Amino acid sequence: MLSISSKCRYGILAVLALGENHGGGLMQIKDIATAKNVPRQYLEQIFNRLVNAGIVNSVRGKKGGYRLAHSPEKITIFDLVEVLEGGVQLVGINEPQDAVSELFGRAQVSLKKTFEITLADLIVRQQALLENVMFHI
Amino acid sequence: MLSISSKCRYGILAVLALGENHGGGLMQIKDIATAKNVPRQYLEQIFNRLVNAGIVNSVRGKKGGYRLAHSPEKITIFDLVEVLEGGVQLVGINEPQDAVSELFGRAQVSLKKTFEITLADLIVRQQALLENVMFHI
DNA sequence: TTAAACTTGAGTGCTCCGCTCAAGATAACC
DNA sequence: GGTTATCTTGAGCGGAGCACTCAAGTTTAA
């Protein structure tokens, strides 16, 4: 089954939370885990990846936490997918030039385009969705 | 790593071969395996799936083989991906209405669109590629 | 020094991938 | 009617990754 892992979904949700809080100080993993309903220890692993990839900064010790390493305009969801999913590679680099590889290549390009939205854009979209929910109450 | 399995690639290549031969009788698995450079016994498994899905017909016994169950105009590559990859499900059906799920939904749609090309179209494209190769010799 | 936070490494049960092996069942052909 | 070429079915196997959990760390504020 071609699907996106929970790891990736969890990671994007967590980074989205950091993005919504950008400039507002540190966020702690237990709060994010609770808010987004993600197993805390699993989220720790995910944050490790993000820290190692330089997307997120960590501060250790009491009153520690995480924050974005760059502004939301400079982070794309594709960056996150690469780190969390280990890349997107529908077509191998050494494949013969046949119609099937060509098709897979097109699929890969369209997927990449979809994910090349910035975190800033995603935050805006998320707020729009929230307002929509408010409107319907 | 988000990627398409060899199984899927092999299967599409094999169905492409059947499609190119459509109306020309049966093809045998050993010939397809040799032509497309796929392990024969593995290709047998793949053909079983395609037969069970009603995409391909098999004829047993000596002089047996495989053929398409429908004309290439009626088979889409998405059909094949569903059977061989077990579906494409970037966004779960019970996910909250957040910006991340929405994005995954868009990715899924664009992937589906790319794969909704018919086998007939793929055959045409493959022939065009072959002619192009000839031209460059 | 204590407690709250991140860090690191290991382990676990599960499923799938990419095959291979070993028998079958079926049908054409001599 | 037996051989032989084909498809069919079921099993197994090593490796990888998923989705976690467990168990210790280390660091820092208070």
Q: Minimal CA–CA distance to B77: which of A100, A102, A90, A109?
A: A100
The nucleotide whose C1' lies nearest the CA of A6 is D19
> Going from the N-terminus, what domains does chain A have, and what CATH number goes with each?
6-136 (1.10.10.10)
Read off the pLDDT band of B132 (50, 70, 90): confident
CA at A81, C1' at D17: how many angstroms apart? 16
Q: If you measure CA to CA, which chain A residue comes closest to B1?
A: A86
Give the count of Cβ contacts less than 8 A between chain A and B: 107
Q: Among residues of chain B, what percentage have pLDDT more than 70?
A: 99
Read off the pLDDT band of B96 (50, 70, 90): confident
Judge: A16–B89 Cβ closer than 8 Å, yes or no: no
Rg (CA), chain A: 17
A71 pLDDT more than 80: yes
A70 pLDDT more than 90: yes
Tally of CB atoms within 10 A around B29: 19
**CB A87 under 7 Å to nucleic chain D:** no
pLDDT of res. B137:
67
Of the candidates B16, B85, B129, which has its C-beta nearest A1's C-beta? B85
CA at B17, C1' at D3: how many angstroms apart? 31
Judge: A2–B1 Cβ closer than 8 Å, yes or no: no
pLDDT mean over A16-21:
98
Residue B80 and residue B89: Cα distance in Å, rounded?
A: 15
pLDDT, tens only, B49-92: 999 999 999 999 999 999 999 999 999 999 999 999 999 999 98
Residue A130 and residue A133: Cα distance in Å, rounded?
A: 5
| CA distances from residue A99 to A36, A110, B45, B124 in whole angstroms, order as listed | 42, 17, 23, 9
Read off the pLDDT band of A11 (50, 70, 90): very high
How many residues belong to chain B? 137
Judge: B115–A100 Cβ closer than 8 Å, yes or no: no
A70 CB-near residues (< 8 Å, 6+ apart): A55
B133 pLDDT more than 90: no
**CB A72 under 7 Å to nucleic chain C:** no
CA at A48, C1' at D27: how many angstroms apart? 16
pLDDT mean over A56-77:
98
